Amino acid sequence: MKQPAVYLLASKRNGTLYVGVTSNLIQRIWQHREGSVGGFSSDYSVKALVWYEMHSTMESAIRREKALKKWNRAWKLKLIEERNPEWIDLWPEINGVVTYLKPLFSPPPREN
């Protein structure tokens, strides 16, 4: 996936969010997951890919990233849930792994 992309990572369902841009989505998400690059995502354990969008140019990806960073939290949550209502970690999807994907962040148990 060496194509410009904008992505959202989460620490947990409705948890801390991180907006990023990259020219190589697989490599960059692997770096976040491994904690090989210090910074916000590493400090706050924000590792699950919950949304991404591919772009034809880096310029358009950067514009989109800057716009998303200005969005309020509710808008970002809505964006994630429109495509990924179960908050499934999309890492296997971008790697081409065909498997049953289960929600990464389970909702809290219901009280009887």
Strand positions, DSSP E, the chain:
5-10, 17-22, 48-54
Q: Which domain holds residue 69?
A: 5-94
Q: Is 77 among the domain residues?
A: yes
CATH for 42: 3.40.1440.10
Tens digits of pLDDT across the chain (112 residues): 689 999 999 999 999 999 999 999 999 999 999 999 889 999 999 999 999 999 999 999 999 999 999 999 999 999 999 999 999 999 999 988 655 555 555 555 566 5
Number of structural domains the chain divides into: 1
Q: Tokens for 95, please give them.
A: 């790697």
